[in-house]
Amino acid sequence: MQPTIPLDAIYTATEAAERLRVTRRTIIKLGRDLGACSKISDEYLFSEKDLLDIWQAQRAMPTSSQGRAVNVKAFLSDLRLQRSLVSLTQKKRRRP
């Protein structure tokens, strides 16, 4: 069975960090926090889409010419969405 979507270029953590001009440690932390990386053994790998997701998540909040924040929907990754849904649906413990 052939895949319907071709696989983008795959980058190691070092290559991805160079591409986004951050440290290797930062790219791994961002990738893990956003769910935008793959881990095989002890190596973190990033696709082109992963790098775009990380880039979008790190964008600065736009401001108007008067210096007020403009109302823009924030980027919510699938991982963050899943975590927030789980926390909302879990039954809270009662304290004795």
Position 74 scores a pLDDT of: 60
Position 86 scores a pLDDT of: 78
Position 85 scores a pLDDT of: 76
**Closest Cα to residue 37, out of 69, 61, 1, 12?**
12
Position 81 scores a pLDDT of: 72
Task: Give pLDDT tens digits for 17-61.
Answer: 999 999 999 999 999 999 999 999 999 999 999 999 999 988 877
Position 82 scores a pLDDT of: 74
Rounded CA separation 39/24 (Å)? 14
Within 10 angstroms of residue 31's Cβ, the number of other Cβ atoms is 22
Domains and CATH numbers, the chain: 10-89 (1.10.1660)
pLDDT band at 1 (very low <50, low <70, confident <90, very high): low
Task: Give pLDDT tens digits for 8-24.
Answer: 799 999 999 999 999 99
Taking residues 57-81, report their average pLDDT. Answer: 66
Decide the pairing of beta strands 43-47 and 10-12.
Answer: antiparallel
